[in-house]
Every structure is written in C-alpha cells, then in structure tokens.
Amino acid sequence: LRQEIQRSEKLNVLSELAASVAHEIRNPMTVARGFMQILSQSQVTEEKKHVYTAMVIEEIDRAQGIITDYLSFAKPEAEKLEPLNLSDLSSKLNNLILPYAAARGVDIQIDMKSPLVIQANEEKIMQCLLNLTKNGIEAMTNGGALQIIGFKKGSNVILQITDTGVGMTAEQINRLGTPFYSTKNKSTGLSMMVSYRIIRTFGGLIEVTSEPNQGTCFTISLPAV
C-alpha cells in the first residue's frame, strides 16, 4: 500500500512537472527560432552569424539540459540498490569536480572516513553529489574552499558539503528543491529537486544551513548498512 501511495504521489508531481517542463522548453525554442530566422536572411554579417549561431547552440543546450534533468527525475527508481562504500567514490568525485573547481579558483578538500556503507545506486548517488558540489562551486564566484566530509554518526552515514560562497536567505532556502527555481542564467533549476528525490529514494534526507555572504552547508544523512 505504501508503495502505491508513493507511486501516485510521484505521478502527480510528474504530471505537474511535465507542464512546467513544456513551458520552460518553449522559451529557448522561441529564442533559437528567432535567431535562425535572422540567420536565414542574406545580409547578416559574418561576425553576427558567429554570435547568433553561438546563441542558438546555447539555447538548445539549455533545452537539452532541462530534458535530461526531467528524465533523470522521471526514470523509475533504480531497483537495484546495493551496498556501496561511499569512501570508494571519493577519488572519482575528486577527479570529476577538480577541473570545474580549478577554473573557478576553488580549493577542494575531500575527507571520507572509511567505511561508509549505505544501500544505494552508485550512479544516482554520484549524480546527487555532483549536483551539490557543482552548486557549491558556483556559489563561490571569487574562489573559496569546498569541503566534502563523510563520517558515521550513530546508525547513519553523514556527508557534509560546505562552501564559503554567497549563501542563502531563509526565503531562498525555502525555495530550494522547487522546480525551475534558479538564481543563475543558463541554468535548469532542477538539480536540487532531483537531488532531494534521490536521497529520499535511499531512505535519507538532506538538510541545509546557510548564511548570506558566509556560505552554505548541505548535510546528507543516510541509513548505514
């Protein structure tokens, strides 16, 4: 019965989301179409052609990002949950985010005490960690430090992702995880929602503390195996 309730709850969210996804995709499509129309006129200079083409690609990428995020949300939960030692993911995570962090002058520090075994799906948990670390890095426009620590606390595995970035007001924290909430240009505003969902699927939760101009700390708690 509980599974059924979760299923119908999910279908509701999905169909509500589908409507806003359609809306959010229409915007970049309209912009891209406008530029294509200009480009089809012969008097456009070479220089303008480059600019407009780049903008069309940017808009299409945005639409594609929205679809990717939506699908990863809509995809039935991976049925195969397996025991996973999060400590084993730390070098992979480090390799994936290092270039992104380095380009923004952000120092990465990862410290995951072994073993941190949870029941999960590797791909999904990586997606969630990447979403949160990416947000942390993007919050530090003038460089800073991103810390990812993992430890056991009672019967839970705790992961904390802390940045020294712009932080959030209480009102902004409240809007976290709602579809298409984003304060960034060229962003989908779906990845927090996806991340919350993933952690919930694994029986855990995400908490956030944040202080404007000080930074943000996301705490993920998951049942330890």
Binding residues for ligand ADP, rule: CB under 6 A, are 131, 135-136, 139, 163, 165-168, 176, 181-184, 187-192, 216
Confirm or reject binding of residue 195 to Mg ion (CB under 5 A). Answer: no
Least distance in angstroms from the C-beta of 108 to ligand ADP? 14
Residue 217 forms beta bridges with which residues?
A: 162, 209
Out of 90, 121, 133, 135, the residue judged to bind Mg ion by CB under 5 A: 135
Least distance in angstroms from the C-beta of 207 to ligand ADP? 13
Can you tell me the distance from the alpha carbon of 187 to that of 184, in angstroms, rounded to the nearest whole number?
6
Confirm or reject binding of residue 216 to Mg ion (CB under 5 A). Answer: no
Residue 107 forms beta bridges with which residues?
A: 145
Can you tell me the distance from the alpha carbon of 140 to that of 165, in angstroms, rounded to the nearest whole number?
4
Least distance in angstroms from the C-beta of 135 to Mg ion? 4
Which of ligand ADP, Mg ion, none does 120 bind, CB closer than 5 to 8 A by kind?
A: none
Which of Mg ion, ligand ADP, none does 139 bind, CB closer than 5 to 8 A by kind?
A: ligand ADP
Query: What's the sign of the alpha-carbon dihedral 221, 194, 179, 74?
Result: negative
Q: Which residue is nearest to Mg ion (CB)?
A: 191
Is the Cβ of residue 13 or residue 81 nearer to ligand ADP in the bound state? 13
* b/e map 200-222, b = 16+ CB within 10 Å: ebbebebeeebeeeebbbbebbb
Can you tell me the distance from the alpha carbon of 74 to that of 201, in angstroms, rounded to the nearest whole number?
13
Least distance in angstroms from the C-beta of 182 to ligand ADP? 3
> Strands, E, within the chain: which ranges?
82-85, 106-112, 117-120, 144-153, 156-163, 205-211, 215-223
Is the Cβ of residue 64 or residue 183 nearer to ligand ADP in the bound state? 183
Is the Cβ of residue 168 or residue 222 nearer to ligand ADP in the bound state? 168
Is the Cβ of residue 28 or residue 189 nearer to ligand ADP in the bound state? 189
In the chain, % helix, strand, coil (3-state, to 5) comes to 50, 20, 25
Which of ligand ADP, Mg ion, none does 90 bind, CB closer than 5 to 8 A by kind?
A: none
Q: Residue 34: helix, strand or coil by DSSP?
A: helix
